[in-house]
Amino acid sequence: MTIRIGNAPCSWGVEFADDARNPTWQTVLKECAEAGYKGIELGPVGFMPEDPAQLADSLAENDLELIGGVVFRPFHDPDAWDDVLDGAVRTCKALKAHGAKHFVLIDSISPRRAPTAGRASEAEQMDKAEWEAYRDRIVTVAKLGAEEYGLIPELHPHAGGFMDFEPEVERILSEVDADTLKLCIDTGHCTYAGFDPVAFMKRHMDRITYVHFKTTDAKVKADTIANRTGFYDACGNGIFCNLADGEVDLPAVRQLLLDSNFEGWCTVEQDCDPLLDPNPLGDARLNREYLQSIGF
């Protein structure tokens, strides 16, 4: 089993490129390397330099490889299509320039869904026409990445958007051909949404080409559900904790990857508030040490 372990800017609280609370991109690269990782994701396009030469030099200085990038844009909003395409094209160009392959598509947080993150029975649902248009926008961007840039388009279920709970993930997988859309499974977003990542992965390993390692604090998650806490407040409360302290059975995930002959990158993502996490470097180190302790 050849699995390489990376990290991502969201572990330093970087969710949006223009957030004044963000650390510098240079700090993220330096600390990612110091924590023992050999790869990093692009983060929100515009956070890292879009000049390929500048970023290539900094990656080389830190002995890091660019793994992939995420289009975290509102696929659910037909009026935001230009914004989605802007994020997609710029991400594609950056990934191609650095030889990265993982083109991860995430429906960003919706005001209609964020208040009910983690509570499937309360979540608003799209009607048939809205769903079909939404699905087709995802497919259009997936084909753009594959056909024009040679990337691997991967759907990433995510709390607070419209691709969150298990039934809707299963629905899109049944409606879109596997050659068009692969899966980046995020173990923490599964548990936040109330389904078992290991069982889900067992059903879909033939489609999973990339994995995000994340976990949820069981008590914080229970309180989040009981108190009807929205997504961003839950992140601020620490729903995504260090890997050793959460409820995802990562040794079982490792065994499943081993049994499935999975090869490639798995990336730690510990979404946090950039001002409320006092030690992202320390967390990154602890997560790397934990993964090494279980055989990664």
Convert the pLDDT of each residue in 219-237 to its tens digit: 999 999 999 999 989 988 9
Q: What is the pLDDT of residues 148-198, one digit of tens each?
A: 999 999 999 999 999 999 999 999 999 999 999 999 999 999 999 999 999
pLDDT at site 125: 97
Q: Cα separation of 292 and 285, whole Å?
A: 11
Q: What is the pLDDT of residues 235-289, one digit of tens each?
A: 889 999 999 999 999 999 999 999 999 999 999 999 988 777 779 999 999 999 9
Are 178 and 204 in contact by the 8 Å Cβ rule? The answer is no
Mean pLDDT (the chain, rounded):
96
Residues 69, 47, 283: CA angle, nearest 5 degrees: 75
Q: What is the pTM of this model?
A: 0.97
Does the pLDDT value for residue 88 go beyond 90?
yes
pLDDT level of residue 1 (50, 70, 90 thresholds): low
Q: For the chain, what are the domain ranges?
A: 3-293
Q: Cα separation of 128 and 178, whole Å?
A: 22
CA 267 from chain center: how many Å? 9
Q: Cα separation of 111 and 118, whole Å?
A: 14
CATH number of this structure's domain 3-293: 3.20.20.150
Sheet strands side by side (includes 3-7): 65-66, 39-40, 3-7, 264-268, 208-213, 182-186, 152-155, 102-107, 68-73
Q: Cα separation of 144 and 148, whole Å?
A: 6
Q: Cα separation of 48 and 43, whole Å?
A: 7
CB neighbour class for 141 (10 Å; exposed up to 12, middle 13-18, buried from 19): buried
Q: What is the pLDDT of residues 92-134, one digit of tens each?
A: 999 999 999 999 999 999 999 999 999 999 999 999 999 999 9
pLDDT at site 229: 94
Q: Taken in order 268, 169, 151, 198, is the CA torsion positive or negative?
A: positive
Does the pLDDT value for residue 72 go beyond 80?
yes
Q: Cα separation of 163 and 113, whole Å?
A: 10
